[in-house]
A and B are shown apart, each in its own frame.
Chain A
Amino acid sequence: MLDAKIPAGPLDQKWTKYKGTVKLVNPANKRKLEIIVVGTGLAGASAAASLGELGYKVKAFCFQDSPRRAHSIAAQGGINAAKNYQNDGDSVYRLFYDTIKGGDYRAREANVHRLAEVSTNIIDQCVAQGVPFAREYGGLLSNRSFGGTQVQRTFYAAGQTGQQLLIGAYQALERQVALGNVKMYTRHEMLDVVTIDGKARGIIARDLVSGQLERHFGHAVLLCSGGYGNVFYLSTNAMGSNVTAAWKAHKKGAAFANPCFTQIHPTCIPVTGDHQSKLTLMSESLRNDGRIWVPKKQGDNRKPGDIPEDERDYYLERRYPAFGNLVPRDVASRAAKERCDAGYGVGSSKQAVYLDYAAAIERYGKTEAGKRGLGSASHDEIIAMGKEVVKEKYGNLFDMYEKITGENPYEMPMRIYPAVHYTMGGLWVDYELMTTVPGLYALGEANFSDHGANRLGASALMQGLADGYFVIPYTVGNYLADEIRTANIPTDHPAFVEAEKAVADRIAKLKGINGKQTVESFHKRLGKIMWDKCGMARNKEGLEWAIQEIRKLKAEFWSDVRVPGEINEMNPELDKANRVADFIELGELMCLDALQREESCGGHFREEHQTEDGEALRHDDKFMYVSAWELNGESNWTLHKEELNYEVVKPSQRSYK
């Protein structure tokens, strides 16, 4: 079932050779071929724009009121590229190697190498579009460090890099809309994939304003619908981020790969109460300058400022001297959990650690005093100057922290705790980004391909844009070249009629239950099961319990959920019910995958499998593969394995010490 279609030849020549020999579609034929793009984040907007530019007829869909709102917009820290502008030893190979190692040797070499190769083109493309990256006084592009690497390869636009990159892709997309190459459907949600003779041929979408179902034909369908972190209810994802498009594809035969690989981001604002609707990330870039610590004494209730230096435990610097505060996300998150579980947590919940800027403020203040020739500046003056520098670098993040917590991070350390942030798992795709359903592709976070068991910071933006701008324009042509004789299939074809009826029936069923409990309450309960048993640490007993609980929850949902309002109107509760029903099914698969993978790797930490000092313990002899799950029926999956062959990198135990 799984053929990754990795081109033959040496790793660093695969993509060049592929591009040079791939089938092409002539311009006259492109005009006749229709492509559906679901989702308009970095992957979707860049794909829709690029394919429109090539002359294909594109239809793009997003559930938000504008393509510019997609959740890529919230990415803060930056985007990696192997430019080596800093002359600090970076190269395509190093970016490739760091990504493979960061992913704990569970990613496919060929895809990751391609990603590293095209990373440099992304920066060039974005600059040409007018993306206002941070610059040095000489007018050249600025870089900063990110976790899991020892070079400075991250390009950024203050703490709003995702916003600026997405606006760049959005503008390119709107230009194609104006030129008539792309037709945009906003406030539309994809609710099924239509397959005819085994190939993806279109989608069923719901106009969220009128509630009407629509049939759309396409010679190919691209899912760029993001990740599924909201299965945990609380995450850094947007409220609307959902798995529905990917899950419908799974139900129509697309294998779902490594669903249990989720990323828990170490630096988020802690939960304050039951009312909490989402969690807010504080960019990883803050770990460049901030120092993470907890008191050395358990249950220390003193204010952070009253705890002297020698009574603080800078546990990341202690445990990982080589990388210090810049260890990868999975390592940093587990270390925070370990300290809090052991009773060293801070704040009223004791589920938090400090991220402290005092040292950085002083250091920057001294540098600034030196620059301005103020050798005799007082301590207060130095601190004031240091605060200015920190404000320029991280001001928007500090402001956000203050708005949410009511505390001033310039005066006291921030309290942070890990939160669900990203999902490395997703639809299984081959080298061409095609799922196991011919003609159905998955791009960006929606696929599983590049990050293995743990994603490095500033790599999600890179992957989304690589897939959309530089990979799919070549690979989709290889499929469509054989489709030029396929005339548009009328949407009164029985497959469309049937798919639409199934969607309508499900909506009617949801609405008709008329039970007592709200959609939100089910989502919260699912999230709690997932976070407790399939979160930062997992074990056999807990996962088996979780699977049973999720099955019970599913039965309860389908017999007691209450969906107010009408079907044929704007009805956000109905939209949410559709999504939560899919999250419940996904939750079961995630637990099943976590249970089956009896090893620890990256974000997947099985308590039974750890080294003596508590690090993740992989079992390469048994689990050096991608788990791709095929759905057979309710709660019934078959596991297919894609063996990972490391031809260039030699897997070893990851060490950041």
Chain B
Amino acid sequence: MEHTTINIKLKVWKQANTQSKGYFESYDVPGISTEMSFLEMFDVLNERLIAEGKEPIAFDHDCREGICGMCSMYINGKPHGPWEGTTTCQLHMRAFKDGDIIVVEPWRAAAFPVIKDLMVDRGAFDRIIQAGGYISVNTGNAVDGNALPIEKEKADNAFAAAACIGCGACVAACKNSSAMLFVSAKVSHLALLPQGAPERKQRVMNMIAQMDKEGFGACTNTGACEAACPKEISITNIARLNAEYLSASLTTA
């Protein structure tokens, strides 16, 4: 692929810690190869800042191949930036052109407090899983894997829901900061499989209760979450979640 070099300007959210007040800082970033990933562009900038005796920008990242769910930048008003179905780490500078001004913020949600600059605390997602996002089977109790045939379609749909990487882009995209897409993906994954049946009702009730407790907002079906999801988790999962919830609330005491 042909590559070119571009000069861009960044406006990045800086915030020392959870308690302090944040602000935007501007940086000129010249000489960026379009072959670079978005995070490599940040690496280049940070190296320069350190060399100049300034504070580098803190951001979360780890696998840099779009699967760990750690990276989380809100770029020009979109979680993970302009490319569809792409995490921040897989976004490449090819997406931008010379002279662009790029605004980068952390996920904004009451349930995701800022830790520093672009890093947020997504512990709420772990606590929602703790509330019921599992199948209660201890190690060593399993029957043969093929003793339980599962229709391919169901298995494929469960897999599609299970592809969620827990990055939180859905929450960041939602005007209400709702976590419904995240919760619905886990509820769907487990509800679609026969292994998940025994705890089905209790699971959805408990996970929803925890989601509310964490301070996530309500879902008003705008679909912003689906559009922002780097793994293209379908909003039909939310419909399934609602059906599961309704059925569970009508039949549990």
B interface bracket (residues with beta carbon within 8 Å of A)? 35 or more
Bound complex: CA A71 to CA B142 (Å): 26
Contact B189 A130 (CB under 8 A): yes
Q: Residues of B contacting A273 with CB < 8 Å?
A: 33, 35-36
Contact A177 B130 (CB under 8 A): yes
Q: Is residue A569 contacting chain B, with contact meaning CB distance below 8 A?
A: yes
- Give the residue of A186, A238, A406, A407 whose beta carbon is less than 8 angstroms from that of B68: A238
Query: Known contacts being A277-B64, A518-B47, is A133 close to B155, with CB within 8 Å?
Result: yes
Rounded to whole Å, the gap between the CB of B135 and the closest CB of chain A is 5
Q: Is residue A473 contacting chain B, with contact meaning CB distance below 8 A?
A: yes
Query: Known contacts being A133-B155, A139-B152, A141-B146, is A405 close to B17, with CB within 8 Å?
Result: no
* Chain A interface residues (CB < 8 Å from chain B): 46, 49-50, 53, 64-71, 73-74, 83, 85, 121, 123-130, 132-141, 157-158, 160, 162-164, 167, 170-172, 174-175, 177-178, 184, 186, 209, 236, 238-240, 272-273, 275-278, 280-281, 399-400, 403-407, 469-470, 473, 516, 518, 520-521, 562, 564-565, 569-570, 572-573
Q: Residues of A contacting B131 with CB < 8 Å?
A: 178
Contact B139 A125 (CB under 8 A): yes
- Give the residue of B1, B40, B139, B149 whose beta carbon is less than 8 angstroms from that of A275: B40
Bound complex: CA A244 to CA B121 (Å): 24
Residues from 117 to 134 in B contacting A, C-beta threshold 8 Å: 119, 121-123, 125-126, 129-131, 133-134
Rounded to whole Å, the gap between the CB of B28 and the closest CB of chain A is 17
Query: Known contacts being A64-B68, A124-B142, A186-B123, is A129 close to B83, with CB within 8 Å?
Result: no
Contact A138 B193 (CB under 8 A): no
Q: Residues of A contacting B6 with CB < 8 Å?
A: none
Q: Residues of B contacting A407 with CB < 8 Å?
A: 1
Determine the residue in chain A with the shortest Cβ distance to B167: A69
Contact B146 A85 (CB under 8 A): yes
- Give the residue of A74, A175, A404, A562 whose beta carbon is less than 8 angstroms from that of B63: A74
Query: Known contacts being A49-B139, A130-B135, A139-B151, is A73 close to B145, with CB within 8 Å?
Result: no
Q: Residues of A contacting B125 with CB < 8 Å?
A: 66
Contact B143 A69 (CB under 8 A): no
Determine the residue in chain B with the shortest Cβ distance to A132: B159
Contact A135 B150 (CB under 8 A): yes
Query: Known contacts being A64-B70, A85-B146, A186-B123, is A174 close to B130, with CB within 8 Å?
Result: yes
**Per-position contact with A for B31-53: 1 when CB-CB < 8 Å, else 0?**
00101110110011001011101
Contact B122 A65 (CB under 8 A): yes
**Per-position contact with A for B11-28: 1 when CB-CB < 8 Å, else 0?**
000001100000000000
Number of A-B contacts (CB under 8 A): 228
Bound complex: CA A46 to CA B150 (Å): 25
Bound complex: CA A209 to CA B115 (Å): 7
- Give the residue of A127, A157, A184 whose beta carbon is less than 8 angstroms from that of B148: A127
Q: Residues of A contacting B151 with CB < 8 Å?
A: 135, 139
Q: Is residue B249 contacting chain A, with contact meaning CB distance below 8 A?
A: no
29 contacts between A and B (CB under 8 A): A68-B126, A68-B166, A69-B68, A73-B67, A74-B63, A74-B67, A128-B135, A128-B142, A129-B135, A130-B135, A132-B189, A139-B151, A141-B146, A157-B159, A162-B67, A163-B165, A172-B137, A184-B126, A238-B68, A275-B36, A277-B39, A280-B64, A281-B65, A400-B66, A405-B1, A518-B47, A518-B51, A565-B56, A572-B56
Bound complex: CA A614 to CA B179 (Å): 57
Contact B145 A404 (CB under 8 A): no
Q: Residues of B contacting A406 with CB < 8 Å?
A: 1, 35, 92, 94
Q: Is residue B138 contacting chain A, with contact meaning CB distance below 8 A?
A: yes
Determine the residue in chain A with the shortest Cβ distance to B190: A130
Contact A74 B68 (CB under 8 A): yes
- Give the residue of B150, B158, B159 whose beta carbon is less than 8 angstroms from that of A139: B150
Rounded to whole Å, the gap between the CB of B65 and the closest CB of chain A is 5
Q: Is residue B69 contacting chain A, with contact meaning CB distance below 8 A?
A: yes
Contact B144 A275 (CB under 8 A): no
Determine the residue in chain B with the shortest Cβ distance to A517: B51
Bound complex: CA A164 to CA B160 (Å): 11
Greatest chain B CB density within 10 A among A130, A170, A184 is at: A130
